[in-house]
């Protein structure tokens, strides 16, 4: 029996008894005295209120009116959950009110000592978006677009959607199959397949006016959608070899469609392959700036001439 499983069973065992001894735990679970003592100490550290009785026949009993929750967390698990809540402040994530109530419930589950530790962590750990003068402050930017939660609820039931949005003062509606819902540069975006134009479309959630399941009776199957997307994929025209420093930079920031393949088991070298639309000035500028951001720890296998020219112009600004 694994340790975690054994401790959970022991907790249920002792919670149903008014009193127990270490010897009883040893016999019931066929473990040594030292193992039984270690398990009991871990259970106490989780916040279960055990009271020890001294003397020759001394043992333990659980404080009255204590109800054991279905799930128990270790000390490190509680910290991991609490830090995760802290790190997601001011990130425009959905279910903000639920995150707040979860944090409150988490604090209510743990012992006073654990609460003190969590309060200390809240004071000394600062994440991006945290106000250093008031760590508990939630900025207005923490509130996501009101359509985001509604969108998530609908897409969990049906990924074929009819979305209505306002683009440059014009209201438009699209039937789409949602591929991904992602956040980039503090904006939530819908990556979907336009079922009328049969091509990929990126739509900001901030532009949404309404979203409903698509009323279309004849729907293009997911298999057909992926086949059409595969046919529309552009030819790769940018291939790079990345060293460890460039990989570290890549992890800090990379455009959505760009991914890397590691070329050794230590993940210190990698290959990057992608398509650059050189006819799109904004994309060309973004890729040029991003290549400079990666630094010198790269080897170029293939690159469009337009990107090379863009790099020359940027470098000439610094070294005329």
**Least confident window among 84-93, 184-193, 247-256:** 84-93
Q: Is residue 69 part of a domain?
A: no
State if pTM tops 0.85.
no
Same domain, yes or no: 200 and 252: no
pLDDT value at 253 more than 90: no
- CA distances, 67 to each of 16, 70, 192 (Å): 10, 9, 47
Q: Is residue 70 part of a domain?
A: no
pLDDT value at 167 more than 70: yes
Residue 129 is predicted with a pLDDT of 62
DSSP codes, 55-91: STT--EEEPTT----SS---HHHHHHHHHHHHHTTTS
Average pLDDT over residues 129-141: 57
Q: Which domain holds residue 305?
A: 238-318
pLDDT value at 151 more than 80: yes
Asked if residue 43 lies in contact with residue 10, where contact means CB atoms within 8 angstroms, the answer is yes
CA torsion angle 222 226 229 233 (round to 10) = 170
HSE value, Cβ hemisphere, 13 Å, CA-based, for 140: 0
Same domain, yes or no: 190 and 214: yes
Token pair of 318 as six digits:
């610094």
Token pair of 262 as six digits:
């590691």
Residue 20: band (very low, low, confident or very high) from pLDDT cuts 50, 70, 90? confident
Q: Is residue 67 part of a domain?
A: no
Residue 252 is predicted with a pLDDT of 86
Average pLDDT over residues 266-293: 88
Q: Tell which residue, 317, 253, 243, 244, has the closest CA to residue 287.
A: 253
Token pair of 84 as six digits:
């995760």
Residue 185 is predicted with a pLDDT of 65
What CATH number did the domain enclosing 173 receive?
A: 2.30.30
pLDDT value at 98 more than 80: no
Domain count, the chain: 4
Q: Tell which residue, 299, 224, 315, 237, has the closest CA to residue 263.
A: 299
Residue 245 is predicted with a pLDDT of 94
Residue 140 is predicted with a pLDDT of 43
pLDDT in tens, 214-240: 887 778 888 999 888 887 766 788 999
Residues 123, 128, 131, 137: is their CA dihedral positive or negative? Answer: negative
pLDDT value at 52 more than 80: no
Look at residues 141, 162, 179 and tell me which one is the last residue of a structural domain: 141
Q: Helices in the chain by DSSP H: which ranges?
A: 3-15, 22-29, 33-45, 75-87, 96-109, 112-124, 147-155, 222-232, 244-252, 281-294, 305-318
Look at residues 232, 265, 286 and tell me which one is the last residue of a structural domain: 232
């Amino acid at each position: 029996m694994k340790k975690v499983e054994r401790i959970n069973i022991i907790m249920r065992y002792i919670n149903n008894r008014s009193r127990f001894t270490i010897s009883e735990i040893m016999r019931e679970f066929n473990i040594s005295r030292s193992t039984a003592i270690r398990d009991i100490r871990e259970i106490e550290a989780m916040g279960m209120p055990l009271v020890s009785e001294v003397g020759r026949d001394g043992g333990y009993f659980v404080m009255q009116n204590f109800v054991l929750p279905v799930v128990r967390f270790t000390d490190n698990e509680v910290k991991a959950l609490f830090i995760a809540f802290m790190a997601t402040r001011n990130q425009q994530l959905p279910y903000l009110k639920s995150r707040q109530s979860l944090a409150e419930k988490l604090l209510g589950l743990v012992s006073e000592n654990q609460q003190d530790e969590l309060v200390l962590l809240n004071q000394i750990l600062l994440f991006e978006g945290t106000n250093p003068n008031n760590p508990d402050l939630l900025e207005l930017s923490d509130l996501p677009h009101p359509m985001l939660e509604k969108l998530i609820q609908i897409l969990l039931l049906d990924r074929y959607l009819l979305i209505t949005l306002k683009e440059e003062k014009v209201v438009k509606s699209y039937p789409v199959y949602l591929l991904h819902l992602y956040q980039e540069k503090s904006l939530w975006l819908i990556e979907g397949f336009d079922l009328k134009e049969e091509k990929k479309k990126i739509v900001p959630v901030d532009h949404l006016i309404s979203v409903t399941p698509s009323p279309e009776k004849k729907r293009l199957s997911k298999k057909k959608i992926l086949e059409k997307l595969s046919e529309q994929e552009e030819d790769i025209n940018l291939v790079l070899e990345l060293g460890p420093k460039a990989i570290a930079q890549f992890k800090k920031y990379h455009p959505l469609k760009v991914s890397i393949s590691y070329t050794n088991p230590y993940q210190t070298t990698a290959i990057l392959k992608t398509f650059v639309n050189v006819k799109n000035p904004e994309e060309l500028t973004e890729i040029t700036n991003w290549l400079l951001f990666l630094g010198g720890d790269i080897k170029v296998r293939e690159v469009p001439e337009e990107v090379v020219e863009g790099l020359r112009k940027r470098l000439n600004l610094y070294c005329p």
